[in-house]
Amino acid sequence: MKIFDSIPENMPQTPFLDRVSDPNDLKKLSQNELIQLADELREFLLYSVSKSGGHLGAGLGVIELTIVLHYLFDSPNDNIVWDVGHQAYPHKILTNRKHLIETIRSKEGLSPFPKRKESKYDAFGVGHSSTSISAALGMSIGNKIKGLNDKTVAIIGDGAMTAGMSFEALSHAGAEKSNILVILNDNDMSISENVGGLNNYFSRIWASKLYTGIKKSGKKVLKNLPTAHHLARTVETSMKTMVAPGGIFEELGWNYIGPIDGHNIQQLIEVIDNLKNLEGPQFLHIITKKGAGFNLAEKNRIKYHAISKGQSSKSKKIKYQDIFGKWIVDMASINESLIGITPAMREGSGLVEFSQKFPERYFDVAIAEQHALTFAAGLACQNLKPVVAIYSTFLQRAYDQLIHDIAIQNLNVTFALDRSGLVGEDGPTHSGNYDIAYLRCIPNMIVTTPSNEVETRLLLTSAFNFDGPATVRYPRGSGPNKTFEESLNEIPIGKANLIRKGDKKSIMLNFGALLHEAEKVAENLNLTLIDMRFVKPLDEDILKNHLKQADLVVTLEDGCIAGGAGSAVQEFCSKQSFNPRFLILGIPDSFIEHASRDEMLEECGLTAPKIEDKVLKMME
């Protein structure tokens, strides 16, 4: 493997890569040429991602594996399913998208994740963790029902293996005896460092040179003495039980092979070529390095999980996740009952400082959102006060636990919902468009929508002090740069804020982070503007005072229109027999494709000029 110390400034020369327009071209290369191709692909990936921005470390780690899979399998007839998709850039480059790779994550450019509509080579659309084995199993059984002999492969990381859904699929596949190959890409990382018992199990296997030696010698014995297969298999199983305790995958019905070097092309070809034709579920454990071949990424795997476009310095404006990170440290300093929980998003959620200052009260539960919520419920039963820091789109994965384990029991759990609303370049799999709608319908739940940094800190305290489940939603990135005090003051539950008195007949109600857009429109059109702060409970007093005589009510939210905050206001007006005209502004009933957040807002008509135009038409 060629090692790079820096990102290429100019387009690299890639003679072998230039010969590959689809996977069939790989089959024309020798194994030595594939090794050269891997070096070229790695260098090209470094160059292209520096131009486009996006996920880097995971793709660097699977260069060799991606080449071998497309070399051995007949894609797209054979299904290659990538888990999460952070590692899929090399796959896209090798499947006739090299010329488009610099458009990745840009409006109307390539998706940042595998996407069925984008390419016939993207077998399954992904973006969330731990779905690959389930999807691949469905494809495998589907092929069997249809009488097809096409192969199915799922590639899943050790971080994604920490999710319960992966083990549900492993258990099912083992019982079905389906012809499926699962490749565990073990780089000891997800986005943050992996945690938990399963990670420790992998580490023990990885560290065991004796075990690796047994596997290599075992293959030689089986190759040279095929008649001794059953004896060799018995010896191997016994030794594996001693050296790698548990044998968890074989107990679930899988033929477990590994670990092997995931950067050794010859070894990958030899092993995978054998496994792909075996009957029943096959599990291959490979060891890779996240960021492999790029020194800086190997040394700092968290930093180089993704890089910014052009390696430009990121905005120095404080981010909402930093507001939360500062708040939770301050609150924990005065309240010993506070417990911080994250499902594998320490850095992204702003919990680094908290984890360092209060390690005994910090819990990273790995990629296990359902467990995170019920774990929080158990803590709340012991009169502790858990704060779950979670992305809005990932809370969707634990909706039953939210209702059944927390809300029904009215337990004291606070949710810091990061990445709410349109998130930008990561697209619809990561946009948190639905939390207002799916939260406000749950009894006992408080739903808050802060409009800026100051309000976020105040409402975090309000939610934390509330006796019951409460959520605070805030967007990705920075806000309008409001200066906030470091006090732990709060806003009374359900109390809105009258921002501007204007025309009494035309009222604008803002919910959340688009207040700065609403203020421009209200000023230009002389509207009365209220920052509602709470979707549930609504400030009924202020609404009765202003909506009773209103002719036009405009609601604005960075969330879906269907069932959202505007719907809540309409329900209130119906209950009060108020009958104003309504203009509900929010995210329409469609998935907004990846673009910058500003471009997404423009597309949804949520910028001040487009809002003003719509309001004017209603007023006229």
Instruction: Give how far the C-alpha of residue 248 lies from the chain's centroid of Cα atoms, to the nearest Å.
Output: 27
Q: Is the peptide bond before 76 cis (omega within 30 degrees of 0)?
A: yes
Segment (H or E) for 55? strand 54-55
Q: Which of 115, 215, 289, 290 is catalytic?
A: 290
Distance CA 338, CA 383 (A): 10
C-alpha to C-alpha distance for 208 and 186, rounded to whole angstroms:
14
Neighbouring CB atoms inside 10 A of 84's CB total 26
In angstroms, rounded to a whole number, what is the distance separating the alpha carbons of residues 427 and 434?
Answer: 14
What is the C-alpha separation between 314 and 295, in angstroms, rounded?
Answer: 22
SS3 54: strand
Catalytic site includes residue 612? no
Q: 3-state class of 109 per DSSP?
A: coil
Closest listed residue to residue 281, CA positions, set 258, 249, 259: 249
**From CA 556, how far away is CA 512, in angstroms rounded?**
8
Beta-strand pair 255-261/282-287: parallel
- What one-character DSSP code corresponds to residue 104? T
Q: Which residues contact 590 (CB under 8 A, 6 or more apart)?
A: none
Cα angle 7, 108, 423; round to 5: 75
Determine the Cα–Cα distance for residues 81 and 122; give it in Å rounded to an integer: 8
Among 251, 259, 155, smallest CA distance to 205 is for 259
Q: Is 581 a catalytic residue?
A: no
Catalytic residue among 42, 301, 385, 397: 397
Record the tokens describing residue 272, joined without a space. 């995978």
Q: Other CB atoms closer than 10 Å to residue 273's CB: what's the count?
A: 13
CB 187, CB 290: distance < 8 Å:
yes
Q: Which residue bears the tokens 């560290």?
A: 207
Which tokens go with 490? 């709060």
Q: Which residue in 202, 157, 180, 186 sits closest to 282, CA to CA?
A: 180
User: Which residue type occupies 554?
Assistant: V
Q: Which residue has the tokens 């996407």?
A: 115
Is 56 within 8 Å of 49 (Cβ atoms)?
A: yes
Which pair of tokens denotes residue 25? 């071209």
Q: Please report the sign of the dihedral spanned by the C-alpha atoms of residue 102, residue 104, residue 105, residue 106.
A: positive
Within 10 Å of residue 612's Cβ, how many Cβ atoms? Answer: 17
Q: Sign of the CA dihedral 197, 202, 208, 213?
A: positive
Q: Which of 43, 369, 519, 599 is catalytic?
A: 369
Q: 473 an active-site residue?
A: no
User: How big, in percent rounded to 5, are the helix, strand and coil portions of the chain?
Assistant: 45, 15, 35
Given a contact cutoff of 8 angstroms between Cβ atoms, the answer to whether 373 and 170 are in contact is: no
Kindly list the catalytic residues: 290, 369, 397
